[in-house]
Structures are given as structure tokens and as C-alpha cells.
Amino acid sequence: MPFFPYQIGLLGDVSEHEQRLRKTIEKQILSLGLDADTFLVLSGHQILSRDRRGPFAAIFFGYSGVTLADEPALADILDDSGVVLPVVPDLSQFSHYVPAELRHINGIELDEHDTTFERVATFLLETFRLLRRERRLFISYKRTDCAFVAGQLYDELDRRGFDVFIDTRGVPPGKDFQSILWHRLADSDVVVVLDTPNFFESRWTEAEVARANTTSIQLLQVLWPGRSAVPAAALSTFFPLSSADFGPIQIGDDAELAQATVQRIATTVEGLRSRALADRHRYLVNAFCDHARDLGLSTELQPTRHILLRGKKGSILVIPLVGVPSALRMHEIHDEVGADKHAVIWVVYDSRGLLEEAILHLEWLNVRLPLKALKVTDVSNRLKLEQLA
């Protein structure tokens, strides 16, 4: 059996869902710039013959009255301390749909609006660390037009496990509003723009959209009835609303979206997220490789999506990291890539929009950690300083 870097197991009552889930997994894999054959999807007894050297994660679609004896492949995964995500028709009856051995694990509920299983596919990519585990979103809106609608989306996205920034709830008293806003924008996976009739009258919201474009952040532009796409939102995906998506009022403090519409918007966000992260990762890879090649250095993109830089004085493993590097994430990277295998490890990030105090903290960490966080704009100078060429 050939070795596949990533293996996915599908278990339980999967027959109704398998083809749609496979297509979504393949779509997300391709959006990340990976070949489809870097993944192997196994089901049922095939899981017992998986390559146990490679990363593996499983989805268990629960069904009524199941026990571990009914699912020998599941028992084998649990014996192997494997990762399993339970997916059930109704979370309120979770224990009815999964064996006792899975009841301590947080599961997710089948979502009638997520027929392509975007959330399930995203979980798999997060498990393999192809998507960052932090699920950060930014909601941009004009408060006098749709504060309640923004709150509806906040609650739904929060319920789905996103860390949602919304200006009425996200900026502590006494803090510089614009600086916090830019920082959170730079550390978000997707920006949800509530494009109401008065949205672009605010210099704040227009600036947010422009900043998102310049930093390769994807926008989901939710268009109120009568609104159309604007040139400033070149990277947007559009979600047009009709009168049927609202209650009696469409604009102002009393405007409210139908719950089914809120759920459809949230599902669209989930599908957009992997593409958004892939675009930002690609920017970091291309920018670093361009700087290195300009100096005559050789770069190799690894199957893990890391970069191996070779020079006359040795090699450097470069980890492109979307968002703000944290001490915890740096620790995880250090453990994952194996410090004993790579004498020099650089974590490259995009510093545009980040708080100065966050950048200063990273510089402080650089003095104390065996791996270094490097702004992508500083790559050329650092390569020259290291004299690798």
C-alpha cells in the first residue's frame, strides 16, 4: 500500500453523505494548492489497513443505538488513540447516536443548510494543521443600519466555534479603537461585510474593505436588497439578500434576518475560510521564495507546505504562518517540525496591520526561543545578514 501523507476515515451511517463529503474534501485540498492524491479517504473495514505511520483522522456519522461492537474499525482507531469527530442528527440526543466510548468527545450536529459538509471537511484540515485551529472572523457593518443583524450573525458564528470580532463587543474601554480594529482584521480568516444602503458612507467601513483587499483577506459581502458589488471589494464573494430574507423591517435597529438566512450565511463563511487561508499562505510562500531567488538561493516547497531554503552555509526550514504568531503556536511548531532535525527554523508572517506591541512581543520572543519569527518584509535583509548566498 503506498504512503499517503494524510488519511481520512469515514465511519458509521456514512452512505448517504460519503460522495458529497469526498467532493468537498477534494475541493478544499485543491484550494490549498495540494494534489488530490496527497489524501486517501478510507471507509469501513478499509480503515483497518491504513498506514499507521501517517497522519489520520476519522469522522463518525452516528446512528441510533450503536455500540462499539458494531464498529470494529472505530474500536481500532480508539485503541490507537486516533482522532474521531462524531457527527449526529441531533446534539440534544448525542448519547443515543454514539457509542459510550465517544460520549466524552464534543461532536457537531448535521446542518440541513450545510449539505456539502464544509464544517466537517474543515475539521479534518484543522486536525492535519493545514488550516490554523484559530477560527477568527471580523464583522464589518454600520451600527445604525443593522446592529441587531450583526448580533444575530455573531451568535450563530460563535455557536459554530468561531472567534468573532465585532466592534460593539470587541474593543475594551480606553483602547485605541482603530489600532485594535486593524489588528483583528489582520488576524481574521474572513471579513463579513454587511453592505447596507449607508455602509460606504462611513470612512471606517470603507477603510476596512480597502485594507482587507491589500492584505489578501477574503470578504463575504452580504448585499442588502438594491445593493450591488462595488469596485473596492475586488476580493469579495457576494451573498445577495432579498426581502424574503428579512422580517417586516430591512434596515435600522429593528431589522432582523430570518434564522434560515443567518445559517446560510454562516455556512458560506465556512466554505470561504479554507480559500481565504490558502490565499494568505500562498502570498507568504511566494513573497519569501521571490526574495530568496533574487539572491540566488534555492527554495523547495515541502508536502507539509513548509519551505526548505538551501544555501552555502546550510539550510533553513521556513514555516509560513497566517495571522499573528503566538508563543503557544511557536511552541507547537517547534515540537511539530522537530528541532533536532533542523538547526535553524524561521516562522514568516505578514505584519501589515498588526499592533506595534504584538510585533515588539515577537521580537522579545526571538531572543528567548530557538526558532525566530520574521516579518516577510524583512526577508531580504535577513537573508543578506545570514550570508547564505
In a domain, 290, yes or no: no
The three three-digit cell numbers of residue 248, written as one number: 417586516
Q: Are 238 and 218 in contact (CB under 8 A)?
A: no
Q: Are residues 147 and 255 in the same domain?
A: yes
Give the mean pLDDT of 43-68. Answer: 91
Domain CATH number, residue 101: 3.40.50
Q: Which of 60, 92, 127 is the last residue of a domain?
A: 127
Per-residue pLDDT band for 207 (boundaries 50, 70, 90) equals confident
Q: Are residues 141 and 256 in the same domain?
A: yes
The three three-digit cell numbers of residue 312, written as one number: 552555502
- How many domains does one find in the chain? 3
Q: Are residues 140 and 244 in the same domain?
A: yes
Q: Which of 80, 110, 127 is the last residue of a domain?
A: 127
Range of the domain at 253: 136-273
Give the mean pLDDT of 323-327. Answer: 87
Q: Are residues 355 and 230 in the same domain?
A: no
111-148 in b/e form (b: 16+ CB < 10 A) is beebebbbbbbbbbbbbbebbbebbbbbbbbbeebbbe
In a domain, 331, yes or no: yes
Q: Are residues 225 and 108 in the same domain?
A: no
In a domain, 286, yes or no: no
In a domain, 28, yes or no: yes
Q: Are residues 122 and 179 in the same domain?
A: no
Domain CATH number, residue 168: 3.40.50.10140
Comparing 183-187, 244-248, 258-262, 376-380, which segment has the lowest mean pLDDT? 183-187
With residue 189 as reference, give the H or E element that holds it: none
Per-residue confidence (pLDDT) for residue 1, from 0 to 100: 42
Q: Which of 92, 127, 162 is the last residue of a domain?
A: 127
- Give the residue, 359 or 215, on which the prediction is more confident: 359
In a domain, 284, yes or no: no
In a domain, 278, yes or no: no
With residue 231 as reference, give the H or E element that holds it: none
What pLDDT digit, counting tens, does each position of 75-107 carry? 999 998 888 999 999 999 999 999 999 998 989
Q: Are residues 120 and 17 in the same domain?
A: yes
